Amino acid sequence: MKLITLDPSTWKITSEIPLLAWPRIPDVTPDGTTIYQTIRRLNGCLVVDLAEKGVVNRISLGESKFAVEGKEAHGLAVTPDGRQLWITTQITDDVTIVGTEDQKVVGRDPNWIGFTPDGRLVVVSNTGSNDVIIIDVAQRKVVATTKVGASPKRLAVGVVVVN
């Protein structure tokens, strides 16, 4: 498996970065310099530096008997300010927070994840409980839970203006 980057003006390939098998949907830092990539059965995610055109680090989330090495990361999202990476783990049912500067775990509190545009709230879909939870980023606690139907998965968070 590999991550392919393209020049948006020509659509020509600018790099091909080798990854491990079974990559999931990545996220990019707001400044466009770094991609975080979860890999199925990996205990965290890969850090891809786009200037260096390669994997520069591997963030570990700790131990688990279910994944090859630790917890199996699933979804991830970079905060709008680019300072933190939030990673969901389905098997252990938690969200792990990683500082993007030092790439160390800064907190724990599980399928897909996304931030509100202002970065104050994070939305997490839970396939096992058929709901979506809203977490207050500053308080690190769930502020709302909404039942949404069977097995919610990918989500997008945004603002829709209705006249």
* Residue 59 lies inside a defined structural domain of this protein: yes
Give how many domains the chain has, as a whole number: 1
- CA-CA distances (angstroms) from residue 33 to 29, 39, 52, 53? 6, 20, 10, 10
When pLDDT is cut at 50, 70 and 90, the band that residue 160 belongs to is confident
* Residue 157 lies inside a defined structural domain of this protein: no
Question: Per-residue pLDDT for 109 more than 50?
Answer: no
Range of weakest confidence among 17-21, 23-27, 61-65, 117-121? 61-65
Round the average pLDDT of the chain to a whole number and report it.
Answer: 83
- The single-letter code of the amino acid at 120 is R
* Residue 153 lies inside a defined structural domain of this protein: no
Provide, rounded to the nearest whole percent, the portion of the chain with pLDDT above 90: 29
* Residue 53 lies inside a defined structural domain of this protein: yes
* Residue 162 lies inside a defined structural domain of this protein: no
* Residue 147 lies inside a defined structural domain of this protein: no
* Residue 117 lies inside a defined structural domain of this protein: no
Q: Give me the pLDDT at residue 1, please.
A: 85
Tell me the two tokens of residue 161: 């203006």
* Residue 57 lies inside a defined structural domain of this protein: yes
Average pLDDT over residues 153-157: 79
Provide the CATH number for the domain around residue 64.
2.130.10.10
More confident call, 1 vs 17: 17
Question: Per-residue pLDDT for 16 more than 70?
Answer: yes
Give the domain range for residue 49. Answer: 2-112
Range of weakest confidence among 61-65, 98-102, 159-163? 61-65
- In tens, the pLDDT along 57-96 reads 998 876 654 445 556 788 899 999 998 898 888 777 778 8
